[in-house]
Amino acid sequence: MKLGLFLKDRLYIIIIFIAFYVVNLLFLLASKVDLFLILFFSITLFSIIACVILIEYKRRKDFYDTLITNTEKLDKAYLVLETISYPNFYEGELLYNNLYEINKSMSENVGSLKKQVDDFKEYVEMWIHEVKIPIASLSLLLYNNKNLYDKKTMKIVSQIDNYVEQVLYYTRCENLEKDYLIKRTSLAKVLANVAIRNKDDLLENEIDLEIDDRGISVLSDSKWLEFILNQIVNNCIKYKDSNKESHIKIWVVDTKNKTNLFIEDNGIGIDDGDIDRVFDKAFTGVNGRKYSKSTGMGLFIVKNLITKLGHGIEIESKKGNYTRVTIAFYKNSFYDVVH
Amino acid sequence: MKRIVIIEDDKITRESLGLLLQASGYEAVIIDDFKDVVKCIIEAGADLVLLDINIPYINGEVVLQNLRKESTIPVIMVTSRDSETDEMLSMSFGADDYVTKPYNPNILLLRIRAVLKRSNNSNEITYRDLDINLQKGIIKRGDEEIVLTKSEMIIFNNLLSNQNKIVSRDELMTDLWNNSSYINDNALTVNISRLRGKLAELGIDDAIETRKGIGYILI
């Protein structure tokens, strides 16, 4: 709160006061009152008005200054009322009470929206578990009926399953609650699951898969990790280069502070202009437009899950040459102490 | 014939599972009354149980806990719940494996075979006059000994457990990939001919027959 602006706001008081003072001064002079008395009278008057204005200023300044600076400092500005004390002047009280009511109504509003979203997410999770049952029945029915069973129909079933799973992990990655469990996870096992899920696709596309996990295990949630690696491998398959013999190489490098998992393909690569945005929500880029069927959600969800798990992810690529994704599993000395 | 009990509340799924198991040479017992599941399992005298978590009246995890008080029969949890917590919980209650829906039927069969084999605890099997050590990947005939590569052993083992039945290339491929041998179509052909060669070295040259367009059969 600035004194100058405060005085400007109170200018009418000062003007009225000065006008009143001049009239009185003229009256006193005309009445031939002793000059000393007039001086005393003037000083008293000016002191009183200055005191009144300064006290008024001080009471407001304390309240408004804390309000303003706290609002600036807080990253959740709507919590500011919790940080200031109840004002000791009338207008402040009015403001405080009103802000309180506004806040309350807004949090009720946000609360009811949050509940709606939570309910919806809960429903989606439940629905996904429900829909998996008929998908499972379908794949069994197809398998038992040799007339219907072939690679193509099974591929369609597994595509449905993949899309359903993506929705599940999307709701999970946006959730604030932790529904994962970090434990020592064998990379070999997770990679084997990913490989077998993509077996038909890889064989059909004649993509060689080389995995060298060196028997290393990391701290992670195996289900989440499987989803993440599956998305990345799906991309490797989707963006393969049909003009050369394709391969996907997966290997692990273990250092003191972290374990790096590399997934490299020799596919079409990513444009330099796109590479920084591949993790953005709904970003499809040049490749996504060219090869259609891209929602731009896969890597966005991957990035979110990785962040929640406390791992790191990086992607580098040379157009027409290779794409390499690196996942960093940081070692946690605390976990080792506990276990 | 191994007897497998299916506890699954979705009618179509459990009937299809039953058909799948029967076609693969198992005897399937389907339970459709979930009031006293544990008793049913014990009475069925099964070799293995496929247990769903979401069943009426009682949770599959509770069934497993109660079952473990009375029996050590192998149990594979088959469920659409796919979180790490669910799996940890089931495994800590004594499940032998945990398969999430929807599953690849080939893989389910492989998992069943693996669990049954583990409970049999047999590493030594015989074929004609050969002694086979699965763990070491060695086949022996008298003093003659031949070492199989990992992929060859997986193929031989698969054909052996399906002796006199046709095994498709896809089934062999699934088994190989399930055991972290990520080979391609050509490599499968190469492995099979190498396996034939090694068997021939031990004097058995008619063991593996090719059924064109269908697969292979071990006689």
> Among all residues of chain B, which has the CA nearest to that of A209?
B182
CA dist., res. A199 & res. A193, Å (int):
10
Looking at the structure, do residues B153 and B214 belong to the same domain, yes or no?
yes
Looking at the structure, do residues B49 and B12 belong to the same domain, yes or no?
yes
Report DSSP letters for A41-108, one per residue.
HHHHHHHHHHHHHHHHHHHHHHHHHHHHHHHHH-SSGGGGGGGSPPPSSHHHHHHHHHHHHHHHHHHH
Looking at the structure, do residues B12 and B116 belong to the same domain, yes or no?
yes
Q: Please tell me the predicted confidence (pLDDT) of residue B148.
A: 92
Select from B71, B87, B120 the last residue of a domain. Answer: B120
Q: Does B200 touch chain A (CB under 8 A)?
A: no
Closest by Cα among B79, B74, B83, B15 to B47:
B74
Q: Does A155 touch chain B (CB under 8 A)?
A: no
Strands (E), chain A: 183-186, 207-212, 217-220, 246-254, 258-265, 312-318, 322-330
Q: Does B168 touch chain A (CB under 8 A)?
A: no
Residues facing B208 on adjacent strands: B218
Tell me: the pLDDT tens digits for B68-94?
A: 998 889 999 998 888 888 888 899 999
Looking at the structure, do residues B137 and B111 belong to the same domain, yes or no?
no
Looking at the structure, do residues B100 and B179 belong to the same domain, yes or no?
no
Looking at the structure, do residues B194 and B168 belong to the same domain, yes or no?
yes
pTM of the complete model beyond 0.90: no
CA dist., res. A284 & res. A296, Å (int):
5
CATH number at residue B196: 1.10.10.10
Tell me: the pLDDT tens digits for B11-41?
A: 999 999 999 999 888 999 999 888 888 888 9
Segments forming the whole domain that contains residue B17: 3-120
Select from B68, B91, B120 the last residue of a domain. Answer: B120
Q: What is the number of structural domains in chain B?
A: 2
Tell me: the pLDDT tens digits for A193-220?
A: 999 989 989 998 999 999 999 999 999 9
Task: Name residue A308's amino acid.
Answer: K
Enumerate long-range contacts of B161-169, CB under 8 Å, 24 or more apart: B161/B113, B162/B25, B162/B218, B163/B127, B163/B218, B163/B219, B164/B217, B164/B218, B164/B219, B165/B25, B165/B217, B166/B211, B166/B214, B166/B215, B166/B216, B166/B217, B167/B215, B167/B216, B167/B217, B167/B218, B168/B214, B168/B215, B169/B215, B169/B216
Q: Does B80 touch chain A (CB under 8 A)?
A: yes
Which SS3 state, helix, strand or coil, does residue B95 take? coil
Tell me: the pLDDT tens digits for B124-169?
A: 778 888 888 877 888 888 888 899 999 999 999 999 888 888 999 9
pLDDT > 90 in chain A, percent: 58
Give the count of alpha carbons within 13 A of B107, CB side only: 21
CATH number at residue B71: 3.40.50.2300
Class of domain A180-338: alpha beta
Looking at the structure, do residues B107 and B128 belong to the same domain, yes or no?
no
Looking at the structure, do residues B134 and B77 belong to the same domain, yes or no?
no
Residues in chain A within 8 Å Cβ distance of B80: 129-130, 132-133, 136
Mean pLDDT by 10 residues, chain A (339 residues): 90 92 92 90 92 91 91 89 89 93 94 92 88 89 79 85 90 76 91 91 92 92 94 93 93 93 94 90 81 80 92 94 95 63
> Is A196 in Cβ contact with B84 (below 8 Å)?
no
